[in-house]
Structure 1
Amino acid sequence: MIAVPRPLPVWLPLKARLVPALSTMAGSAVVLLPVVAVGPSMPPFGLLMLLAWRLLRPEMWPAWVALPLGLFDDLLSGQMLGTSMAIWTVASLIFDWIDHHLLWRDFWMEWALAALTILFAVMGGWAVSRSYVAYGSVVVAMPQAVLSVLVFPALVRLVAALDRWRLAR
């Protein structure tokens, strides 16, 4: 008797396509939680999710996908329109360039690249917001940057679990 493979469920391609974008958008929506803080303290979860998906599956998204996801983040977070769009797109383009020039990467290299990108994004957001909000010195944004770098490995594990779930039959 010949074993005939079962056809893939109809929802699998849709799930496989939507889970990365929806999880990144959910990361951006974390800013809607009622957290009271004097300065910026919450990590930019949308950016962290984008970086985690980008490092885990570099072939999945083209570089331009950071533009609409950044727009969604800008609309939810209340930053100046275009801040996340520009920073996320530049980060995505840099990761495309790195993918074409590095032959191999391990966990520590990816964490270092993500840490530099997170620092660039947090400091870039601080520099843009500094022009219209009196945040003071760059020291105010450092706890957010450090916390973001430390939280990143946990989000990579979350994204890996989401990736396994989205590709499961």
Structure 2
Amino acid sequence: MSLTTPREAAAGERLRRLMPSFTVLLAMLLMALPLPLAWSVMPNFAWLLVIIWASLQPRLMPALVALVLGLLADLVSGMPLGVQGFLFTASVIAVRLVEARMEGRSLALDWLFAAILLLAGHVIGWQLLGFTGNRAPLLPMLAQAGITLLAYPPAMALAARVRRRMIERSGWA
């Protein structure tokens, strides 16, 4: 016999479905904080979490949600509207295409694929910024890609822990 009412269970299910989006939103807010960093480059935690959630829980990070989160990231970061929206959405679609053709998983393969996505995405983002008349130097963007890649293992551990908690609380896999 369950100790929760159907209404409480439905609210818990909605919260569970929104958890990946909440983690990405929190990452956006973290990136917007004026933190004293040794380098002036901050990892793009939001984009990294979009890639990780698309891989861990594809149903909870659909392309439309990635687009909305990317547009919000554009607004928070001050980038031209649509740049990160495009990159987040393209990343989710790329993860789906690759995972449909790939058997087995490992941290090294996931990390390598994330590296390819992030490096290619930063170059594409650099080109998109140029198209909007906001040409940025490529080197800081590639530095951000490299620092974001270094953040992959702890970000994956965080997302896996959140996912494990979601499963424990809901009994859903």
Q: TM > 0.5 between the two? A: yes
Aligned-pair CA distance for 1:84: 0.7
- CA displacement at 1:126 relative to structure 2: 2.3
Amino acid of the structure 1 residue aligned with 2:163:
D
CA distance in 1, matches of 2:98, 2:35: 36
Aligned partner of 1:118: which letter?
Answer: L
Partner of 1:144: 144
| TM-aligned CA distance change 1:44 to 1:84, over 3 Å | same
Equivalent residues, number: 164
Task: Report sequence identity in percent.
Answer: 26
2:20 and 2:61 in contact (8 A); partners too: no
Amino acid at match of 1:86: F
Match of 1:65 in 2: 65
2:21 and 2:61 in contact (8 A); partners too? no
TM-score between both structures, scaled by the size of structure 1: 0.85
Q: 2:25, 2:46 within 8 Å by CA — same for their partners in 1?
A: yes
Q: C-alpha offsets along residues 128-169 of structure 1, whole Å, 9 cap, x if unaligned?
A: 234534533x22322211111010111010111111223333
- Which of structures 1 and 2 has the larger relative contact order (alpha carbons within 8 angstroms, sep 6+)? 1
Give the CA RMSD over aligned residues.
Answer: 2.2
Q: For residues 46-82 of structure 1, give each alpha carbon's deviation from its aligned partner in whole angstroms, at most 9, with x where no partner exists.
A: 1011111112223433333211111111111110100
**1:107 offset after TM fit, Å?**
1.3
**1:73 and 1:54 mapped to 2: Cα distance?**
17
- How far did 1:36 drift? 6.4
Distance across 1 between alignment mates of 2:50 and 2:40: 20
Q: Report how far residue 7 of structure 1 moved.
A: 4.3
Contact 1:40 1:141 in 2 (8 A): no
Preserved contact between residue 29 and residue 73 of structure 1 (Cα < 8 Å): no
Tell me which residue corresponds to 2:51: 51
Q: Which residue number in structure 2 is paired with residue 103 of structure 1?
A: 103
| Worse-superposed segment, 55-64 or 44-53 | 55-64
Q: Where do 5+ consecutive residues of structure 1 fail to align?
A: none
Distance 2:99 2:67 in 1: 19
The one-letter code of the counterpart of 2:98 is I
- SS in structure 2 at match of 1:135: coil
**Partner SS, residue 141 of structure 1:** helix
The corresponding residue for 2:118 is: 118
Q: Within 1, Cα distance between the matches of 2:88 and 2:126?
A: 14
> In proportion to residue count, which structure has more helix?
2
1:17 maps to which residue? Answer: 17
